[in-house]
Amino acid sequence: MTVLAKPLRIASVALSLALPLPAFAQQAADTIAPEAATTTAPKAVVHAQRHMVAAANPAAAQAGLDVLRAGGSAADAVVAVQTVLGLVEPQSSGLGGGAFLVWYDAASGKVTTFDGRETAPKAATGDLFLGTDGKPLKFFEAVVGGRSVGTPGAIRLLEAVHGRYGKLDWTNLLDPAIDLATNGFTVSPRLAALVADDADKLGTQASTRDYFFPTGKPIAAGQTLRNPAYAETLAAIAKDGPDAFYKGPVADSIVEAVRSHPINPGLLSGEDLADYKAIERPAVCAPYRGLQVCGMGPPSSGALAIGQILGMVEPFDLATLGPEDPESWRILGDATRLAFADRERYVADADFVSIPKGLLNADYLSIRSTLLRRPTALPQEGVTAGDPPWDKAELRRDGASFDMPSTTHFVIVDDEGNVASMTSSIENGFGSRLMTGGFLLNNQLTDFSFAPEEDGRAVANRVEPGKRPRSSMSPTIILRDGKPIFALGSPGGSSIIPYVAKTIVALVDWKMDISQAIALPHLTNRFGTYDVEAGTSAVSLVKDLEALGYKTAVKEQNSGLQGIAITANGIDGGADPRREGIAVGD
Ligand code: GLU
């Protein structure tokens, strides 16, 4: 392929996305969740010179931009963006949840990460999600109520990153969210649709009913909604700092909401909140085609899985194959399945279980990569966990855990060139459906394996007191020669891993711009079924994938990627057309 042919081919992919949906795909789009019935035509790339914010909601992005304009650092803007997101996109993230942040520090050239993941209550044990019959609960039986609520970590994370890299006064950074909560914000179409869609769970919880169904009907798109309780909580945190969240009346009301749920009470205590700590951890970085792909290590499986996928596909010439060749997707899809096999077997909170140190070992990945040298799909029995170098081998059983879509990702670049890439979550849409102090409480504990052991062997991701549930969140910063060139991430449960890996391949191998790479239709294969994004040009690959031996499923893909590219010409920002995100900058 000539160098010139490449952009033309890419343009044709992007253009075909904007065409009317074929009838079969339209039908699929009509039957899927309302938030997913959007287009995958790329949003325009936003170009800036000095600083940028790309976030899932325009009001939150604007709040971050205002902080950067006032001379704030990316860390300052993180505080403003997160607290506004907790108001305008309450279903996804907020004070009642947790987050992971990857940070590039321009002054030292170092990448570090902050872990604000929820913890299991000290009183929790391996049987937390087993019913009275000893069998794992059904997912939503576990989610709704207090049982699934872990100690929220978001505010301690904000405190940690602001303490290290902030320039502006903490108090003022909460003003945008306090103003919007007091004077009202405009309910977005996506929030309104999700509230209506969740009426059976959200509308039946006393703590959420009055806020989301104020007249008995779900809040409507375009209406102005006030949240005085949220303003009050933030005012306390502004005045007295994060301790006002983790101790005293706010903490008491969280514990009360969790423990007094009439059907499904939980175990969270005042001590769990008072003792919670965000943890700074070294970034996990993996090489890919001369770049360094850096992200979040355990308790997230994100950077390890993405590093493994990229390591396994690197020997293949994906650039020449291109995004329209099913062979590219065979290689990517089976690499993802192999990475997921290791993830299920080995990855959990490393403060509690030993994780093989060789999951990103080059020799190990090269052996795993040879499994992809075949003409057709790997048979399911061939997709097993490998044997990575490990100094403390243990017999392990594969786990199974659920990941459901909500969550949010944002990226920020400041005037000094610092970069923040943060994925933040209350897990399921609207979390545990419990609300207190104007914010929703997470259900992050359902990211643990419900079964603590299988056939007498321990599952790595079992519930243990104080442990952090394994995540798929993959906030990422990619460096060339030590300088950041891309930052990205997404919501989407365990599909986050293939969403982000695909976007990296689209940027690096297929030379797409940030918006095209984000919008490129998703084809994800985690557990054997090749999931092909409904309503997109990818559906035309279904026949070829079936011929390679895959079972396919055409379904919505609920990503919410936000990303930036830093080039010699400035900063390019892109937001996922599947949700309401936007990039803004100067
Ligand atoms: N709870 C999930 C995780 O931490 C994220 C949920 C989502 O993206 O919807 O991996």
DSSP string, 216-236: SS---TT-EE--HHHHHHHHH
Residue 27 has pLDDT above 50, yes or no: no
What domain range is 147 assigned to? Answer: 23-280+401-585
pLDDT of the residue at 205: 87
- The verdict on the CB of residue 237 being under 6 Å from ligand 1 is no
Q: Is the CB of 427 under 6 A from ligand 1?
A: yes
CA of 469 to the centre of ligand 1 (A): 10
DSSP H stretches of helix in 314-382 = 318-321, 326-346, 362-370
pLDDT tens column, 225-246? 999 999 999 999 999 999 999 9
Tell me what pLDDT residue 404 has.
54
Phi-psi region of 407 (alpha: psi -120 to 50; beta: other; left: phi over 0): left
Number of separate domains in the chain: 1
Residue 537 is given by DSSP the state: G
To test ligand 1's pocket by mutation, which of 91, 472, 524 has the most ligand atoms within 8 angstroms of CB? 472
Structure tokens at 99: 């987050």
Q: Residue 454: what pLDDT?
A: 84
Residue listed under structure tokens 């993802």: 336
Q: Give 456's pLDDT tier (boundaries 50, 70, 90).
A: confident
35 lines ligand 1 (CB under 6 A): no
User: Quick one: what percent of the chain has pLDDT higher than 90?
Assistant: 87
In a domain, 552, yes or no: yes
Q: What is the pLDDT of residue 203?
A: 87
Mean local confidence (pLDDT), 403-432: 92
- Cα 471 to ligand 1 centre (Å): 6
Q: Which residue ranges are tagged as binding site for L-glutamate?
A: 117, 447, 471-472, 493
> What's the confidence (pLDDT) of residue 386?
93
Query: What confidence category does residue 391 fall into, taking pLDDT thresholds of 50, 70 and 90?
Result: confident
The continuous run of DSSP H or E covering 59 comes out as helix 58-69
Q: What is the pLDDT of residue 457?
A: 87
The answer as to whether 263 is a domain residue is yes
Evaluate whether residue 463 is within a structural domain.
Answer: yes
- Rounded Cα gap, residues 94 and 116, in angstroms: 12
405 lines ligand 1 (CB under 6 A): yes
Please determine, for residue 12, whether its predicted confidence score (pLDDT) is greater than 60: no
Identify the residue whose C-alpha is closest to ligand 1 atom 4: 471
Asked whether residue 81 is assigned to any structural domain, the reply reads yes
Nearby residues of 163 by Cβ (< 8 Å), 6 or more positions away: none
Structure confidence at residue 30 as a pLDDT band (50, 70, 90)? very low
With a CB cutoff of 8 Å and minimum separation 6, the contacts of 510 are 6, 10, 318, 319, 322, 323, 517, 520
Q: What is the pLDDT of residue 400?
A: 53
The helix (run of H) or strand (run of E) holding residue 182 is: helix 175-183
Q: Compare 32 and 364 and report the one with higher pLDDT.
A: 364
* Rounded average pLDDT over 523-527: 94
Closest atom of ligand 1 relative to the 558 alpha carbon: 9
Q: How far is CA 171 from CA 70, 76, 94, 399, 410, in A?
A: 14, 11, 18, 43, 22
pLDDT bin (cut points 50, 70, 90) of residue 7 is: very low
Backbone phi, then psi, for 429, in 5-degree steps? -55, 120
> 404 CB under 6 A from ligand 1?
yes
Indicate which CATH number applies to the domain containing 111: 3.60.20.40
Beta bridge partners of 459: 397
Query: In angstroms, rounded to a whole number, what is the distance separating the alpha carbons of residues 584 and 59?
Result: 11
The rounded distance, in Å, linking the Cα atoms of 502 and 441 is 31
pLDDT of residue 206: 87
Query: How crowded is the C-beta side of 578, counted as CA atoms within 13 Å?
Result: 29
Q: How high does pLDDT run on average in the chain?
A: 91
Measuring from atom 3 of ligand 1, which residue has the nearest CA? 471
Q: Is residue 371 part of a domain?
A: no
- For ligand 1, is residue 473 a contact (CB within 6 Å)? yes
Rounded Cα distance, 375 and 141, in Å: 43
Q: Show which residues are catalytic.
A: 407
Q: Is the dihedral of CA 196, 79, 577, 429 positive or negative?
A: negative
Range of lowest pLDDT (1-10, 52-61, 247-256, 538-547): 1-10
Tokens of 197: 């869609």
pLDDT higher than threshold 90 for residue 256: yes
pLDDT attached to residue 257:
97
The verdict on residue 328 lying in a domain is: no
Q: Structure tokens of 407? A: 């969550």
> Could you tell which of 407, 499, 524 is best to mutate to test the pocket of ligand 1, judged by most ligand atoms within 8 Å of the CB?
407
Does some domain include residue 333?
no
Give domain status of residue 315, yes or no. Answer: no
Q: In what order do the strands lie in the sheet with 523-524?
A: 523-524, 529-533, 551-555
Note the pLDDT of residue 515: 98
